[in-house]
Every structure is written in structure tokens, then in C-alpha cells.
Structure 1
Amino acid sequence: MRHRADEALGIRTVRRRYVTVCVLLWLPPGLGLASMVLLLGERGMSLAAIAGLFAAHSLTVAALELPTGGLSDVVGRRPVLVTAGVLNMIACCLVGLGTTVGVLTAGMVLMGVSRALASGTAEAWYVDTVQASAGPDAELRTGLARGGSATSAALAAGLLLGGALPWLLGTGTGLGAGLSEATSGVVLPLSVPLLLGAAVRVVLVCYVLAVLREPPRPRATLRSVLRGVPVTVLDGLRLGGRDALVRRVVLSAAAAGGALGVVELLVPGRAVELTGASDSGALAYAALACAGFVCCGVGSHLAPFAARVAGGGERAVLLCLGTGTIGVLLLAVTASSAHVLATTFAVTGFCVFYVGIGAVTPNQNDLLHRRVPRERRATALSVQSLAQQLVGALTGLVVGVMRPGPLPWLLTGAVLLSGALLWLRRGEERAAQVTATRPAPTVE
């Protein structure tokens, strides 16, 4: 009994540390959401230049997603997280203080490298540590759900704080003028959220070095890294191709990524249409985005409950993706109307969508981690993330050339529904149950 109590205490500690890392990882991106585009505009960048800077970030993440996942599997989670924190701290300073295209491009590229390094690494550390403590059948879903909730809460809090700080430091309060005079205009009020994000990264690096311990692994050398990373990446890709369950996880995650990309693309325009002005539309979208993060966090928190209600992880994924599809359909049927009732249904659909998306990730990742070995875990998460990004970009391009109205939303709902329908096939699980319950043959 004492051993079980100590084990439970250890798992609670691991969960708490994982949640803390999630907050420290995602608070800086939240801080930059509200101010980065405006800051780049203040630095004299045109809209095309700003789009190019964000494209440099996105392409860097896509190019390095798989290699950095393999690197995490080969050298360990802790050094990769520390490297991600240091690079992002430098990137936040470059973007926050940079005034030339070259410096800003370097900052956005470094931000992309950091994002790729951090992708899935903290989650892989959590699963490694829990399974090393409690065995391969340890309960993972609760910790994954709490990590998802912490991520959403950090993004929401960062969005609010990142939007409020420039206003508080604006010239209307006198603080912004003093700040600009003291720094010769290099530090603008809009720079402060990014610089605060750099400070948070310092805290992240110190926290990871101080408390994140990982199970022992073979010592990595330069030769082992150069040989091991490509092999690990290829093995991770092969695993997704030959394992039906892993393939379904990746495809359903890609469908969710496509739906998220469309929602983020179309909802700002609908907010402007409803309010009648770009400024008020931007404010309305900021409030909606914050509500979306909150709903996503609520969905993550409800993920274990969804699994209990549905009767298992696979059915929970089906239920949650179906819930997200209902939200998208509500956005579709209200797309051509600005009536108060239609707007209410649209906001409801927006919130329902994010609750469903928030609940699906812990459930499908719980299935993934039970199927993927430790030495391929971060790579599998990177494959999943890359699929989300690619399908999100492709769906966004298709929807972007379509006429406004219900049709883009119906296409998005069809994409998400296709991801849900993948989980109607549960033959493998039934076969495993039959095998487990079949009596062993007797030897005569």
C-alpha cells in the first residue's frame, strides 16, 4: 500500500511539472498573438512583408518538425526543451527590438526552430516519466488533459495580457512616451509583450534544468545523433504507414488541423461583417479567440469524462470529433445571416467546436502513446503535428478561393466528419479483446 501511495504521489508530481512546463511554453506565443502584427506594422513593414515573415516561420516549423522530433528521441527531452527555450528567448528579443527586415526574419526563423524543437517534447517527457514510474499501462489521459487545459489557459491569459500591456503603456497614460524616450524608440509599447515572453523563456529554461529529470538513456554522441536521427524519422514514418491505429490518429488529427485552419481564417472576417468596422471586428475576434482558448481548455479537462461516457478512447475520439463537426455546421447554417439569433447560434457553434477539438487531443494521444515505443514517441508526435499543419494549410488554400457563405463551412464540416468516421472501424480492438478472452489451448 505504501508503494502505491508513493507511486501516486510521484505521478502527481510529474503531472504538476508537466502542466507548469505547458504554461511556460505557451504563455509567450499567447503574449505575441495580440501585438506582433501591429508591432511589425509600426516598424514600417508592409502587409506583404509581414505575410512573408510569418511564412518564413511556418516553413521553418514544417521543414524541421520531423528532424527535431527525431533529435528529441535520440538525445533526450530535457536538452531539446532547454535549447528551444534559449532560441525562443533570442527570437523574442530580435522580433521585439528589431527594426530591419534581416533582423526580423532571423527572429521569425529562430522562433520557428524553437517551435519545432518544443513540438511534442514536453508531452513525450511526461509519458516517458509516468511509464518509467508506473509501467506501460499507467493512466496517461488525465495528465494529457490537464496539459491541454494548461496550454489553452496560458494562450488565453497571454492574449489578454499581450493586448492590455501596450494599451497600459500607451501614450495616453504617459508611460509609453517615457518608455520611448528612455530607449530612443527601440522599445515600443507593442514590444513589451514579446520582451516579457523572452523573460518567461528564461524561467522555462531554469525550471527545466532544475526539476525535469528523465529516465536514463544511452549517452548520445555526435556520430550517434547523425546516424540516429534519420533512422528514427524514417521508422516513425513507417510506423504511421503500417500501424492502422497510429494512421487513424494521424489522419483524424490532420482533419482537426484542417478545421482549425479554416476557423482561424474565416472567423475574423465574420467578426468584421457583424461589427461593421475593422477595429471593432478585431476587438470582437480577440474576445472570441480568448473564448475559444477557454473552451478548448474546458474540452481538454473533460477528455477523461468523455472517455468514460463513450466507453473507451476510440469511441471518445469519435464522439469529440462529432461534437466539433456539429459546431462547424452551426457556423455553416448561420453564415449568410447577421441576425442576432443567427449570431448567437454562430458563437455557440464556435464554442462547441473548440470544446470538441480540445477534448479529442488527449484521447487520441493516449491511444498513440500506448502504441508507439518510447524511442519513437517524439517523432510520432511530430508526424501528427506536421499532418495537422499541412492539411490546415491545404484546406485554407481551398477555402480561400471559395465564395463566402455556407459552402466553405460545409466543406470544413465534411473534412472533420471524415476524421470522425475513421473511428467507426473498431475491428482491431474487438479482435484484441477476443484474443485476450479466448481460453488457452490445452496440451494433451
Structure 2
Amino acid sequence: MTIVLLEVPSGALADTIGRRRLLVVAGLCMLFEMALLLVAPIGGGWLFALFALNRVLSGAAEAAASGADEALAYDSLKAAGLEDQWGKVLERVQRDTSLAFFFAMMIGAAVYDPRMVNAVLQFLGASFTVEQAQLIKLPILLTFLSAVVVFCMSLRMKETPSGTERSVGETLSQSWRQTGAAARWIWATPLPFGIILAAMVLDSVVRQFLTLASEYWNVIDLPIASYGLIGSGMALMGLFVPRVARILAEKSTPLKNFLLTSSAVLIGLIGLGFAIPI
């Protein structure tokens, strides 16, 4: 809900105060949202309120960064006369993001598993052990540290001056008009409307499973440490999927791509249905 409400205003702010500043705001929101989880009492009365505020800050960060990061990168390429490399840049970003997710999932699962942590402590010669309750916030702490890195990187970004200055009201009004015009065009044009509907159908099914994935792994009796391995394996698919997607988009039709994607999702769900607890 926060993302939906702030998407257009954040776009207007990006055109007014600059995309770099909006990314700095996104970094600050990330810092505060993770800090809230760090200080939140486990099972305390303020837990729900802090979690709700965390979700609002997370949505604000997503809305602030949505499009601003890519626009800043594209403008930088355009200023250097390299805008024709934009497709390759996006592909590289997807690959690097997949690698980052791979290491994050591996580390996150390892530090959340008391058996893994205790094995490392024993190897290092420590005389104490830890329990699950003591590790529950360790992944959050690591995420907070990664948010610190993101915030510092946003401060180092540079933005090419646009040369035009408009008020927030003007850019906000123009953003709403452009959004309305785009919505009317999508509604009246079958191809983009169909693509969006198809993407929503497939995306909702996949996201539904990913949201409940950890519960599914628990049902089939997989150890906690394996969650990260599975997630890392899924993340590694991002190393080659962007290239395949680009080739399909360039050489195949939307209908064929939809049928191919639908078949892949269906086969995956059927395979999950045949999983037997160990």
C-alpha cells in the first residue's frame, strides 16, 4: 500500500530534488526500518506497531528507489554517449544481484542455524554455545550493516544536472497526468494490457509460494541450514535467466513467451506437489 501511494509522488520528487537525493532518502529509510527490527522486543507489546512502521518505511524506501536508480544510471550513460549499452547494463545488474542474493542467502541461513554457528564456535575454540533464541536477530543485524553500505554508496553517487527547475506541485501534477495517460493507453491497447495481466497471474502464483517457502521446507522436514542452500540455488538462476529473457524478448512472440513461462511455473508446482517428507 505504501509503495502504491508513494510511487507517483516519489517520481515527482525525483524530478524536483534530484534522483540522487531520493536514493539517499531510500537508504535512510532502509537504515531505520532495519533498526526498528533490531530494537523491537521479542514478543513485546510494541512488536506489532514497530513491525507495521517497518513495513511503511520499507515501502517508502522501495518507492523512493523505484526507477530513480535506473534513471540515474541511464542518465549517466547518456551523458557519456553510451546509452546504447543500457540493455547490457541491466543484464549485468541482474547477474550481480543474483550473486549478491546467493551469498546473502548462504550467510543468512548459516548464522540462523545454531548447529552451524556452534560448529564454527567449537572450531574456533570457544567455550560457549548459542541457542536459536540468541540468533534470531543476527540476520537482521547483518541486513542492517548492508543497509549502511547502501546508504554510504548513495552518498557517493553523482547526478548530471538536468538544467530545468520545477516546483514539486508542477512535477507532481505532470506525473499524475502522465500516469493517467499511460493507464488509459494500457486499458485501450490489448497487447500491453494482456502482458500486464499475464505477468500478474504468474507473478502472484510464484510470490505466493516464495512467501510460504520456509514453511514448505519445514513441512517436508528439510533442515534449517538447507533453506539458504535452496535460496542460493534459486538466486544463481539469475546468472543466466536475464540473457535468456533478453533473447526470448528479441526473437520470440509474447504469446510463446507467456506459454513457455506458464509451462515452467506449472512444472515447478507439480514437482513441489510430489515432494515427500524425508
Per the TM superposition, whether the score is higher than 0.5 is yes
Indicate which of 312, 320, 324 corresponds to 2:261. 324
Say whether 1:148 aligns with 2:85. no
Q: 1:211 to 1:272 in 2, by over 3 A?
A: closer
| 4+ aligned runs moved over 4 Å, structure 1 | 168-172, 174-180, 243-251, 267-273, 281-286, 303-308, 316-320, 332-336
Say whether 1:110 aligns with 2:47. no
Q: Deviations over 1:248-307 (max 9, x none)?
A: 45752553343233123246879977x784551766655443322221332114444445
**Contact 1:176/1:189 (8 A) holds in 2:** no
Indicate which of 136, 151, 173 corresponds to 1:205. 151
Say whether 1:89 aligns with 2:31. yes
Say whether 1:289 aligns with 2:231. yes
Say whether 1:235 aligns with 2:172. no
State the shift of 1:336 in Å.
5.4
**1:46-85 → structure 2 map (5 Å cutoff):** 59-85=1-27
Aligned residue type for 2:178:
D
**1:360-371 → structure 2 map (5 Å cutoff):** none
**1:158-237 → structure 2 map (5 Å cutoff):** 158-167=104-113, 170=117, 173=121, 188-219=134-165, 224-237=167-180
Q: 1:304 to 1:95 in 2, by over 3 A?
A: same
Q: 1:120 to 1:276 in 2, by over 3 A?
A: closer
Q: 1:178 to 1:63 in 2, by over 3 A?
A: farther
Identify the residue that residue 123 of structure 1 maps to in structure 2: 70
In structure 1, distance between residues paired with 2:210 and 2:155: 40
Q: 1:170 to 1:84 in 2, by over 3 A?
A: same
Q: 1:164 to 1:286 in 2, by over 3 A?
A: closer
In structure 2, distance between residues paired with 1:91 and 1:200: 12
In structure 1, distance between residues paired with 2:58 and 2:211: 24
Q: Deviations over 1:18-45 (max 9, x none)?
A: xxxxxxxxxxxxxxxxxxxxxxxxxxxx
In structure 2, distance between residues paired with 1:316 and 1:177: 60
SS at match of 1:134: coil
In structure 2, distance between residues paired with 1:152 and 1:317: 25
In structure 2, distance between residues paired with 1:176 and 1:264: 42
In structure 1, distance between residues paired with 2:190 and 2:242: 22
State the shift of 1:113 in Å.
1.2
Aligned residue type for 2:265:
V
**Contact 1:74/1:229 (8 A) holds in 2:** no
State the shift of 1:192 in Å.
2.3
State the shift of 1:179 in Å.
8.8
Q: 1:272 to 1:188 in 2, by over 3 A?
A: closer
Say whether 1:252 aligns with 2:199. no
Computed over aligned residues only, the root mean square deviation of the Cα atoms, in angstroms, reads: 3.8
- TM-score norm. by structure 1 comes to 0.50
Q: 1:212 to 1:65 in 2, by over 3 A?
A: same
**Contact 1:64/1:113 (8 A) holds in 2:** yes
State the shift of 1:88 in Å.
0.6
In structure 2, distance between residues paired with 1:210 and 1:162: 27
In structure 2, distance between residues paired with 1:324 and 1:281: 30
Segments of structure 1 that go 5 or more residues without pairing to the other structure are: 1-58, 181-186, 340-444
Q: Which has the higher contact order (CA 8 A, sep 6+)?
A: 2
- TM-score norm. by structure 2 comes to 0.75
Segments of structure 2 that go 5 or more residues without pairing to the other structure are: none
Aligned residue type for 2:151:
V
**Contact 1:165/1:193 (8 A) holds in 2:** yes
